[in-house]
Amino acid sequence: MTCSHCVETVTRTLREQTGVHSAQVDLKSGRAVVGGTDLDVGALCAAVEELGYGASAGARA
């Protein structure tokens, strides 16, 4: 991601996914924090990858 538009696009895409209640994307770190119930991490990563960005699962709280 290189700009605030990228952040907005990824944030919107994540928030549209099933079970997502919140999504915060940080441009500087290139990371997203997603909250929700019964999240399909693979589907979240795939949705971001469809936008042309890399994605991988990180730590889960």
Domains of the chain: 4-50 (3.30.70.100)
Q: What is the pTM of this model?
A: 0.92
pLDDT digit string (tens) for 25-49?
999 999 999 999 999 999 999 999 9
What is residue 14's three-state secondary structure? Answer: helix
Judged by DSSP in three states, 33 sits in: strand
Instruction: Examine the pLDDT at 53 and tell me if it is beyond 90.
Output: yes
Position 12 pLDDT exceeds 80: yes
- At 31 the pLDDT is 96
For residue 52, what pLDDT is reported? Answer: 97
Express as a percent the part of the chain with pLDDT over 70.
98
Q: Give the integer Cα–Cα distance in Å for 10 and 41.
A: 15
